[in-house]
Protein backbone atom coordinates (compact mmCIF):
# COMPACT_ATOMS: atom_id res chain seq x y z
CA UNK A 1 0.00 0.00 0.00
CA UNK A 2 1.46 3.41 -0.90
CA UNK A 3 2.22 5.38 2.23
CA UNK A 4 3.65 8.67 3.39
CA UNK A 5 7.13 8.57 4.85
CA UNK A 6 5.49 8.72 8.28
CA UNK A 7 3.44 5.59 7.56
CA UNK A 8 0.02 7.14 6.95
CA UNK A 9 -1.83 6.05 3.79
CA UNK A 10 -1.72 8.35 0.80
CA UNK A 11 -4.73 10.61 0.22
CA UNK A 12 -6.41 10.14 -3.16
CA UNK A 13 -8.46 12.03 -5.69
CA UNK A 14 -10.07 8.99 -7.28
CA UNK A 15 -11.63 10.70 -10.31
CA UNK A 16 -9.71 13.14 -12.46
CA UNK A 17 -9.14 13.27 -16.20
CA UNK A 18 -6.06 13.48 -18.36
CA UNK A 19 -6.42 15.48 -21.57
CA UNK A 20 -3.92 16.61 -24.16
CA UNK A 21 -3.47 18.20 -27.54
CA UNK A 22 -6.09 17.06 -30.09
CA UNK A 23 -3.22 16.77 -32.55
CA UNK A 24 -1.87 13.94 -30.43
CA UNK A 25 -5.02 12.47 -28.90
CA UNK A 26 -7.86 12.06 -31.35
CA UNK A 27 -11.31 13.15 -30.19
CA UNK A 28 -14.39 11.25 -31.29
CA UNK A 29 -17.29 12.87 -33.10
CA UNK A 30 -19.92 13.43 -32.01
CA UNK A 31 -18.84 13.87 -28.39
CA UNK A 32 -20.55 15.16 -25.23
CA UNK A 33 -18.12 18.06 -24.73
CA UNK A 34 -14.86 19.57 -25.93
CA UNK A 35 -12.13 19.02 -23.35
CA UNK A 36 -10.54 22.08 -21.77
CA UNK A 37 -6.94 22.97 -22.54
CA UNK A 38 -5.49 21.34 -19.45
CA UNK A 39 -2.85 18.65 -19.04
CA UNK A 40 -2.07 15.79 -16.69
CA UNK A 41 0.51 18.05 -15.04
CA UNK A 42 -2.25 20.59 -14.37
CA UNK A 43 -4.41 17.87 -12.82
CA UNK A 44 -1.62 16.65 -10.58
CA UNK A 45 -0.79 20.20 -9.49
CA UNK A 46 -4.45 20.81 -8.64
CA UNK A 47 -4.60 17.63 -6.54
CA UNK A 48 -1.46 18.58 -4.66
CA UNK A 49 -2.77 22.08 -4.03
CA UNK A 50 -5.72 20.42 -2.29
CA UNK A 51 -3.43 18.45 0.01
CA UNK A 52 -3.78 15.16 -1.90
CA UNK A 53 -0.96 12.79 -2.75
CA UNK A 54 -2.24 10.72 -5.64
CA UNK A 55 -4.84 10.66 -8.40
CA UNK A 56 -6.79 8.14 -10.41
CA UNK A 57 -6.98 8.94 -14.12
CA UNK A 58 -10.46 7.99 -15.32
CA UNK A 59 -10.79 7.46 -19.06
CA UNK A 60 -12.72 10.36 -20.64
CA UNK A 61 -15.55 9.48 -23.04
CA UNK A 62 -14.35 12.03 -25.62
CA UNK A 63 -11.56 9.63 -26.60
CA UNK A 64 -13.88 6.75 -27.37
CA UNK A 65 -12.02 3.49 -26.81
CA UNK A 66 -8.54 5.02 -27.15
CA UNK A 67 -6.73 4.89 -23.80
CA UNK A 68 -3.61 6.72 -24.96
CA UNK A 69 -4.10 9.96 -23.01
CA UNK A 70 -4.91 8.10 -19.79
CA UNK A 71 -2.02 5.64 -20.10
CA UNK A 72 0.42 8.42 -20.97
CA UNK A 73 -0.61 10.30 -17.81
CA UNK A 74 -0.18 7.12 -15.81
CA UNK A 75 3.32 6.57 -17.17
CA UNK A 76 4.24 10.17 -16.34
CA UNK A 77 3.30 9.68 -12.65
CA UNK A 78 3.87 5.98 -11.91
CA UNK A 79 4.46 6.41 -8.17
CA UNK A 80 1.38 8.45 -7.32
CA UNK A 81 -1.31 7.69 -9.85
CA UNK A 82 -3.47 4.81 -11.01
CA UNK A 83 -5.87 4.50 -13.93
CA UNK A 84 -9.28 3.24 -14.97
CA UNK A 85 -9.45 2.60 -18.71
CA UNK A 86 -11.86 1.67 -21.46
CA UNK A 87 -11.97 -2.01 -22.37
CA UNK A 88 -8.72 -2.59 -24.32
CA UNK A 89 -8.65 -4.41 -27.64
CA UNK A 90 -6.39 -7.07 -26.17
CA UNK A 91 -7.85 -8.50 -22.97
CA UNK A 92 -5.57 -11.53 -22.84
CA UNK A 93 -4.19 -12.46 -19.41
CA UNK A 94 -0.76 -11.25 -20.49
CA UNK A 95 -2.12 -7.86 -21.62
CA UNK A 96 -4.02 -7.33 -18.38
CA UNK A 97 -0.97 -8.29 -16.36
CA UNK A 98 1.05 -5.63 -18.19
CA UNK A 99 -1.64 -3.01 -17.61
CA UNK A 100 -1.91 -3.93 -13.95
CA UNK A 101 1.86 -3.64 -13.51
CA UNK A 102 1.64 -0.18 -15.09
CA UNK A 103 -1.00 0.91 -12.57
CA UNK A 104 -4.38 0.19 -14.16
CA UNK A 105 -6.93 -0.88 -11.56
CA UNK A 106 -10.28 -1.02 -13.36
CA UNK A 107 -12.41 -0.85 -16.47
CA UNK A 108 -14.80 1.98 -17.28
CA UNK A 109 -18.37 1.64 -18.47
CA UNK A 110 -20.64 4.55 -19.35
CA UNK A 111 -24.28 3.47 -19.36
CA UNK A 112 -25.62 7.00 -19.68
CA UNK A 113 -24.24 7.52 -23.17
CA UNK A 114 -24.39 5.50 -26.36
CA UNK A 115 -21.32 3.67 -27.58
CA UNK A 116 -18.29 2.55 -25.64
CA UNK A 117 -17.99 -0.68 -23.69
CA UNK A 118 -21.13 -2.79 -23.61
CA UNK A 119 -22.32 -4.60 -20.52
CA UNK A 120 -21.94 -7.92 -22.36
CA UNK A 121 -18.31 -7.21 -23.30
CA UNK A 122 -17.53 -6.13 -19.76
CA UNK A 123 -19.11 -9.27 -18.30
CA UNK A 124 -16.94 -11.39 -20.57
CA UNK A 125 -13.82 -9.99 -18.84
CA UNK A 126 -15.12 -10.57 -15.30
CA UNK A 127 -12.90 -13.55 -14.58
CA UNK A 128 -9.76 -11.72 -15.64
CA UNK A 129 -10.73 -8.59 -13.70
CA UNK A 130 -11.25 -10.72 -10.61
CA UNK A 131 -7.89 -12.45 -11.12
CA UNK A 132 -5.92 -9.18 -11.22
CA UNK A 133 -8.01 -7.47 -8.52
CA UNK A 134 -9.67 -4.81 -10.68
CA UNK A 135 -13.08 -3.19 -10.37
CA UNK A 136 -15.70 -1.69 -12.67
CA UNK A 137 -16.03 2.09 -12.68
CA UNK A 138 -19.59 2.88 -13.74
CA UNK A 139 -21.26 6.06 -14.86
CA UNK A 140 -24.97 5.31 -14.55
CA UNK A 141 -28.04 6.63 -12.81
CA UNK A 142 -28.22 4.48 -9.68
CA UNK A 143 -31.92 5.25 -9.26
CA UNK A 144 -32.44 2.90 -12.23
CA UNK A 145 -32.61 -0.24 -10.12
CA UNK A 146 -33.00 -2.59 -13.07
CA UNK A 147 -29.86 -1.30 -14.75
CA UNK A 148 -27.82 -1.33 -11.56
CA UNK A 149 -29.03 -4.86 -10.81
CA UNK A 150 -28.04 -5.98 -14.32
CA UNK A 151 -24.55 -4.60 -13.90
CA UNK A 152 -23.98 -6.04 -10.44
CA UNK A 153 -25.32 -9.41 -11.49
CA UNK A 154 -23.15 -9.45 -14.63
CA UNK A 155 -19.84 -9.08 -12.78
CA UNK A 156 -18.43 -10.37 -9.52
CA UNK A 157 -15.87 -7.60 -8.98
CA UNK A 158 -16.58 -4.38 -7.05
CA UNK A 159 -18.70 -1.79 -8.88
CA UNK A 160 -17.69 1.82 -8.19
CA UNK A 161 -20.37 4.41 -8.92
CA UNK A 162 -19.51 7.98 -9.88
CA UNK A 163 -20.68 11.14 -8.15
CA UNK A 164 -23.10 10.07 -5.40
CA UNK A 165 -24.46 7.45 -7.82
CA UNK A 166 -25.28 10.13 -10.43
CA UNK A 167 -28.89 9.86 -9.29
CA UNK A 168 -31.26 11.74 -11.55
CA UNK A 169 -28.91 11.88 -14.54
CA UNK A 170 -30.90 9.39 -16.55
CA UNK A 171 -34.34 9.42 -15.00
CA UNK A 172 -34.80 13.01 -13.79
CA UNK A 173 -35.32 11.56 -10.31
CA UNK A 174 -34.38 13.72 -7.35
CA UNK A 175 -31.13 12.73 -5.64
CA UNK A 176 -32.56 13.94 -2.34
CA UNK A 177 -35.47 11.47 -2.56
CA UNK A 178 -34.65 8.40 -0.41
CA UNK A 179 -36.72 6.18 -2.70
CA UNK A 180 -34.06 6.68 -5.37
CA UNK A 181 -31.24 5.25 -3.22
CA UNK A 182 -32.82 1.85 -2.56
CA UNK A 183 -30.92 -0.31 -5.06
CA UNK A 184 -27.60 1.43 -4.45
CA UNK A 185 -27.86 0.96 -0.69
CA UNK A 186 -28.90 -2.67 -1.08
CA UNK A 187 -25.79 -3.44 -3.13
CA UNK A 188 -23.61 -1.46 -0.72
CA UNK A 189 -24.85 -3.56 2.20
CA UNK A 190 -23.77 -6.65 0.27
CA UNK A 191 -20.29 -5.17 -0.14
CA UNK A 192 -20.59 -5.05 -3.91
CA UNK A 193 -20.99 -1.33 -4.61
CA UNK A 194 -18.70 1.56 -3.76
CA UNK A 195 -19.68 5.21 -4.25
CA UNK A 196 -17.58 8.27 -5.03
CA UNK A 197 -18.31 11.24 -2.80
CA UNK A 198 -17.66 13.64 -5.64
CA UNK A 199 -19.02 16.32 -7.98
CA UNK A 200 -21.93 17.35 -5.72
CA UNK A 201 -23.14 19.77 -8.39
CA UNK A 202 -24.11 16.76 -10.51
CA UNK A 203 -26.91 15.73 -8.12
CA UNK A 204 -27.70 18.82 -6.03
CA UNK A 205 -28.42 22.47 -6.73
CA UNK A 206 -27.78 24.07 -3.34
CA UNK A 207 -24.18 25.15 -3.92
CA UNK A 208 -21.88 25.96 -2.26
CA UNK A 209 -22.94 24.16 0.95
CA UNK A 210 -24.77 21.16 -0.60
CA UNK A 211 -26.48 20.40 2.71
CA UNK A 212 -29.25 18.64 0.76
CA UNK A 213 -26.86 15.70 0.35
CA UNK A 214 -26.54 15.05 4.09
CA UNK A 215 -29.40 12.50 4.24
CA UNK A 216 -27.87 10.50 1.40
CA UNK A 217 -24.44 10.59 3.03
CA UNK A 218 -25.94 9.35 6.30
CA UNK A 219 -27.73 6.54 4.47
CA UNK A 220 -24.54 5.54 2.65
CA UNK A 221 -22.63 5.63 5.93
CA UNK A 222 -25.08 3.14 7.37
CA UNK A 223 -24.85 0.91 4.30
CA UNK A 224 -21.06 0.82 4.17
CA UNK A 225 -18.89 3.81 5.03
CA UNK A 226 -15.77 1.80 4.17
CA UNK A 227 -17.04 1.69 0.57
CA UNK A 228 -16.99 5.46 0.10
CA UNK A 229 -14.13 7.25 -1.65
CA UNK A 230 -13.44 10.90 -2.41
CA UNK A 231 -13.03 12.41 -5.87
CA UNK A 232 -12.99 15.86 -7.41
CA UNK A 233 -14.02 15.19 -11.05
CA UNK A 234 -11.42 17.77 -12.08
CA UNK A 235 -11.42 19.61 -14.51
CA UNK A 236 -15.22 19.52 -14.14
CA UNK A 237 -16.14 19.23 -17.80
CA UNK A 238 -19.42 20.86 -18.74
CA UNK A 239 -19.48 23.07 -15.65
CA UNK A 240 -19.53 26.87 -15.95
CA UNK A 241 -17.07 27.11 -13.07
CA UNK A 242 -14.07 24.91 -12.31
CA UNK A 243 -14.02 24.39 -8.53
CA UNK A 244 -10.71 24.27 -6.73
CA UNK A 245 -9.97 20.76 -5.41
CA UNK A 246 -9.05 22.03 -1.95
CA UNK A 247 -12.33 23.90 -1.82
CA UNK A 248 -14.27 20.78 -2.84
CA UNK A 249 -12.37 18.62 -0.38
CA UNK A 250 -13.23 21.02 2.46
CA UNK A 251 -16.91 21.11 1.51
CA UNK A 252 -17.30 17.34 1.19
CA UNK A 253 -15.21 16.66 4.29
CA UNK A 254 -17.51 18.89 6.32
CA UNK A 255 -20.56 17.04 5.02
CA UNK A 256 -18.98 13.66 5.73
CA UNK A 257 -18.14 14.68 9.28
CA UNK A 258 -21.71 15.85 9.83
CA UNK A 259 -22.89 12.46 8.51
CA UNK A 260 -20.66 10.58 10.95
CA UNK A 261 -18.07 9.59 8.33
CA UNK A 262 -14.31 9.94 8.82
CA UNK A 263 -13.08 11.96 5.81
CA UNK A 264 -9.49 10.81 6.27
CA UNK A 265 -10.56 7.17 6.01
CA UNK A 266 -12.52 7.95 2.85
CA UNK A 267 -9.58 9.77 1.24
CA UNK A 268 -6.93 7.39 2.52
CA UNK A 269 -7.64 3.89 3.79
CA UNK A 270 -10.71 3.25 1.64
CA UNK A 271 -9.11 4.48 -1.57
CA UNK A 272 -5.93 2.53 -0.96
CA UNK A 273 -7.96 -0.69 -0.81
CA UNK A 274 -8.99 -0.14 -4.44
CA UNK A 275 -5.98 1.59 -5.93
CA UNK A 276 -2.83 0.48 -4.10
Each residue of 17-66: pLDDT tens digit? 999 998 999 999 988 889 988 999 999 999 999 999 999 999 999 999 99
- Summarised one tens digit per residue, pLDDT across range 126-137 is 999 999 999 999
User: Over 60: is that where the pLDDT of 186 sits?
Assistant: yes
**161 φ, ψ (degrees, to nearest 5):** -95, 135
DSSP string, 38-53: --HHHHHHHHHHTT--
- Rounded Cα distance, 269 and 248, in Å: 19
| CA nearest to 45, candidates 267, 253, 271, 244 | 244
Question: When comparing pLDDT for 56 and 174, which is higher?
Answer: 56
Share of the chain above pLDDT 90, in %: 79
First to last CA, the chain: 5
pTM of the model: 0.94
Fold type of domain 19-275: TIM Barrel (3.20.20)
pLDDT: is 8 or 150 the higher one? 150
* Annotated domain spans of the chain: 19-275
Amino acid sequence: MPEHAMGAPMLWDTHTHAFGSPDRYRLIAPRPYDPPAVTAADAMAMARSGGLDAVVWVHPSVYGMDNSATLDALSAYPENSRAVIALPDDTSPEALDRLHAAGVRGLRINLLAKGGTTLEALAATDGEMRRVGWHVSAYLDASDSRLLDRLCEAVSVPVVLDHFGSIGKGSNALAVDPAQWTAMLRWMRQGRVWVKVSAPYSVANDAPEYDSLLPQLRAMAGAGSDQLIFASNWPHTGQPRRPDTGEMRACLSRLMQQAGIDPNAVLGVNANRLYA
